[in-house]
Amino acid sequence: MVSRVIPVDPFDLVIFGGTGDLARRKILPGLFRRFIAGQMPPEARIIGAARTDMDSAGYREMIAGAIDEFGGIDTPPAGTLDAFLAQLEYVTIDAKGEAGWAELQELMKGTGRVEAYYFSVAPSLFGDLAERLQHWGMADVDARIVVEKPFGRDLATAKALNGTLAKYFNEDQIYRIDHYLGKETVQNLMAVRFGNMLFEPLWNAQYVDHIQITVAETVGVGGRGEYYDKSGAMRDMVQNHLMQLLCLIAMEPPARFDPDAVRDEKLKVIRALDPVLPHHIMRGQYEAEAGQEGTHPSYREAVGDPRSKTESFIALKTQISNWRWSGTPFYLRTGKRMAARSSEISVVFKETPHSIFGPDAGQHRNVLSIRLQPNEGITLGVTIKEPGPGGMRLIDVPLDMTFAEALDDDAEHVDAYERLIMDVIRGNQTLFMRGDEVEAAWAWTDPIIHGWEARGEVPKPYDSGSNGTTDSHELMRRDGREWRKVSL
């Protein structure tokens, strides 16, 4: 299946932090892939802006290296790399001072193109950048700014950040990134729910026993220990990525697939979430990998604090208090150094009200599993008769739809960042978080974090390569349920 690529309007994209990790690993290689796909018009310009003293030629060389290292493209079609690099410029700039701003202003003057400014820098610089953009006449009503997570570390800081940005930009100019919303299967979740008649009538507490969301990673905190130890899994993953998945799986059908209709419905879900009880949340820290302590140290060693109380794993149970979901628990789990890299949402349906097949048939539940990564796809567990003679024995078999197989492998793989940047240029905010959504998510998260801080709770250890802490399994078992296996 060949995908249709519609070029976006000509644009100027300024990337503050243009020499940083995210720019080199994700943003620029992603833009190059869009260039190859024919989505980037030849008039478009990408302007890297950072403190490093460098000229445009030096920047092009740096980005060529980054594309080679992180682009995932074996041999780019002839001439494409040079043509792409020719669209790149660089400005040495001081986010907190005056250096470089006149030059940037000159570059951006009256181009008549879409203007976007990507803040790929520490959140402490967001205010400085926004203020200077306005001061230098670059914050006109058509300009867009893109901001990365973390968006605050609690409700107060998120509100302050929203307040600062609102001084210079309207909400419809602000694109808050949660890269999970740019993942193909995450969008497919909406297509499956709202494009099929099959599921929606069953999508409620009457038929759904519970829903589990697992985002398991095999990586540890690596070189990000300093950032991570101040965040932990709750702030790094649950408040944003898992919360977004929860919203998409639980929200009411929006009237239209447009930014505010979708975000209004997500906001209602977050606001209907019950507070999490202390015994419904388990935290863990990974231990060193047996036999590989040097390369795979424990969490505390990796962050260099033998007394760290930050969690690298979390499992929790929550409820949504509304008509659709009252009585259906939602279990969320995420962690580093787990058994496999696997993100999955499972909708576990209730058993049939009465089994006509007698006690030997066993208990069976349909499970709809939406695998976000890897092997994106959807599986529906269906109960059938075990083939052969000997009576009526029931077994569960998967109706499996792995997207790569169902859709041919030449279906284009678009990375989350590529998709989201193109949406910024198109002016489509559907897959970006609105300010009130982020604040509502923090309002739910804050009391949980304050609770364990006040109680001085220490995360429990769990083995590297496992499925998390022992008590996270208890959380399920005492409800008569179990986590789905974390596997590829």
Binding site members for NADP(+): 17-24, 51, 149
Name 37's Cβ contacts closer than 8 Å, sequence gap at least 6.
Answer: 5, 412
Alpha carbon 3 to chain centroid, angstroms: 24
Q: What phi and psi values does residue 215 have, to the nearest 5 degrees?
A: -125, 100
CB of 183 to ligand BG6, least distance (A): 7
| Beta strand 45-50 pairing with 88-92 | parallel
Give the count of alpha carbons within 13 A of 179, CB side only: 14
Q: How far apart are the first and last CA of the chain?
A: 26
Residue number, nearest CB to ligand BG6:
236
Number of amino acids touching ligand BG6 (CB under 6 A): 2
Residue of 12, 89, 115, 236 interacting with ligand BG6 (CB under 6 A) = 236
CB nearer to ligand BG6: give 236 or 439: 236
Check residue 418 for interaction with ligand BG6 (CB under 6 A): no
What is the CB neighbour count within 10 angstroms for residue 474? 13
State how far the Cα of 70 lies from the Cα of 65, in Å rounded to an integer. 9
| Smallest separation (angstroms) from ligand BG6 to the CB of 214 | 12
CA dist 251 → 11, 189, 200, 239 (Å): 34, 11, 11, 17
Length of the chain: 488
Shortest distance, position 217 Cβ to ligand BG6, whole Å: 5
Binding residues: 17-24, 51, 149, 179, 183, 217, 236, 336
Q: Where are the beta strands (DSSP E) in 386-434?
A: 394-402
Q: Based on CB atoms, which residue is closest to ligand BG6, 217 or 311?
A: 217
Indicate the residue among 236 and 423 with the shorter CB distance to ligand BG6.
236
Evaluated on CA atoms 242, 269, 256, 199, the torsion sign reads positive
- Containing 334, the helix (H) or strand (E) segment is strand 330-335
Residue 188 · residue 310 · CB < 8 Å: no
What is the closest distance, in whole angstroms, from the C-beta atom of residue 74 to ligand BG6 in the complex? 22
Give the shortest CB-166-to-ligand BG6 separation in angstroms: 24
Which residues 168-227 are close enough to bind ligand BG6 by CB under 6 A?
Answer: 217
Q: Which is nearer to ligand BG6, 217 or 463 (CB)?
A: 217
Question: Cβ of residue 331: shortest distance to ligand BG6, in angstroms?
Answer: 19
Question: Which residues are known binding-site members for substrate?
Answer: 179, 183, 217, 236, 336
Q: What distances in angstroms separate CA 219 from CA 225, 297, 313, 438, 451, one per listed residue?
A: 12, 11, 12, 26, 28
Give the 3-state secondary structure percentages of the chain, helix then strand then coil, rounded to 5.
40, 20, 40
The H or E element spanning position 246 is helix 243-250
Active site residues: 241
For ligand BG6, the binding residues (CB under 6 A) are 217, 236
